[in-house]
Amino acid sequence: MKPITNNRTTSEVVDLSRTNRHNMTLRSREGSSYVSFSSEKARRHNSDAMTKALQNPLILDIIFAQLNLNDLKSSRLVCRDWADVGAPLLVKRSRLLANFLYRVENSKLRQGIVTPLSDELLRHLVISDKFDPSVPKGKQASVITKVFTDVANVSRSTRQVTLSVTQPKLVLAFFKGIRSLKSTNIQHVSITSVDIAAKRAIVDNIPSFLTRLKLPFQAGLTSLQFKVFGYIGGIKYALHAFEPLFQTLIDSAPNLARLDVSGAFYPNLEACKNLKVLKFVFEKCAHDTCQVRLTGVTRMLTQVKDSVVELDLAYRAAKAERIQRVRNNADHMMSKLVTLNIHGAFAYPISNFFDEVHLPQLKNVSFNEQIKGCELRAFLKLWGPHEGVQSLSVNLGYRWMKDRFAKKMVRKFPSVKKFELSTDLCKNKYVPQLNEMMEPFKTWDLEESNVVINLVDECSVLVAVLKNMAVWKGAKNVHFEEVGLREDDLSGSIQDVIAHGRGFKSVEISGVEDPAIVEKMQAIFKESGAPIHFMESY
């Protein structure tokens, strides 16, 4: 490797990783004779091996992928080989803050960079509502439009655009700019608008413009993300005014493969024949009329029933609302769906849908019930038995104790091979409910199970979990997070923890803040030979 600067050399880089500074003795494979190496020979041996490793682009790719952006930039200064390997990674992670390309001089907008921008810098454009201080509010929208109309090679070089603004007029300027480009090579567009603050007059003027807006087909556009929320009262109309804009962008992407929507927008997906991943998050605002429309959800699902492989349905709100159940048409089965993730199951009571007939290829199911008041057991009543589900993940909120669902879940999904369970607030008084909840899972013919228990403050909870899981089939892993255990409680139960934990692949206990307790208990677990790792709080 040839150094880029006079101050750094290959040997200096290798010396940073030397690990053996003493004489080293190795046993010969032929018998009991020994071969001795001096410290100098050992250093040369390690240096040669490390040099070869750090010249291997495959190894460097793995190492550099773990670095943050600043460290990646610094590593490229070490030598020419590192600079060459790090360059593509740096390009992929670089973003151009497009708003600062322009400033105002003599009351006119002028591009601040005279030399042409490289194709690499133009790959990812970031547009926000932060501008050069010289740009007044009245000219901010023009800056965004000019990024697309005046900056050379945007149409050819840009692959990703991120728009994160708070003003509706800036969203409009973005769409005007995209329209001016006609055909592009853009692959992903992300639009986020939070806490929209606009006068009612601006919002009311939007629809007249939207009726004339059409975008040319964007053959390379395969991924779209819309996140618009934070509107309250009269401002809620801002979101609905933007729906035609988002719909226009969707309709312009015949090869759209991934769509991520957050808000109260139910897009028309009739033209999305190649959509593989659909993520829909209903964001409830403070207005009383803002409620989940299941008819809008089922219409979307029907339109992509023959293409979507992964489906996420989520609900975000300060509190749960009562949703009227709707019935799915028997002919509307999702023939290719493999993965289904439900976050806030109570919000999607669609009957005649969650079964083996309508989801024949379903293999992976995930439930996240973190919202207060959710009842997973009630939602499972909508499900018919599904023997195709092999992977099941359940993340329970703190009120799971009142929601006896386990027996019903085992009956609904009898063929589960991989099971993941996460819950919290497991106090001693809930041990009976914990035992009742975990007991049915032993009937599954599991190959792997991963359990995470949060906020444990008594060893009786540890023992109850380990005792229950000890009779489960397959490789078992459990992690007790944010524990608040006392030393006397640990000392009295440590032998039970060891006895029940021996059959596990891994048992991790983390969150204890006293290093002395951690050191003492870890020594005991290590001596026992049980796969139990005791760690202090991070």
pLDDT on residue 398: 67
Task: Give the pLDDT confidence of 509-537 residue by residue, as tens digits.
Answer: 988 777 888 888 889 989 999 999 987 66
Using one digit for the tens of pLDDT, what is the confidence trace for 242-300? 677 888 899 999 999 999 998 878 899 999 999 999 999 987 765 555 677 888 899 99
Q: What pLDDT, on a 0 to 100 scale, did the predictor assign at position 234?
A: 41
pLDDT for 429 equals 77
Which residues of the chain carry a pLDDT beneath 50?
Answer: 1-39, 41-42, 45-46, 195-205, 231-238, 373
**Predicted model pTM:** 0.78
The pLDDT of residue 79 is: 73
- pLDDT of 183 reads 77
Phi-psi region of 128 (alpha: psi -120 to 50; beta: other; left: phi over 0): beta
Per the structure block, which two tokens stand in for 218? Answer: 């964007």
**C-alpha–C-alpha distance, residues 517 and 491, integer Å:** 10
- What is the model's pLDDT at position 72? 58
Burial of 103 (0-12, 13-18, 19+ CB in 10 A): middle
- Which DSSP string corresponds to 423-450? E----GGGHHHHHHHHGGGGGS--SEEE
Would you state the pLDDT for residue 312?
A: 96
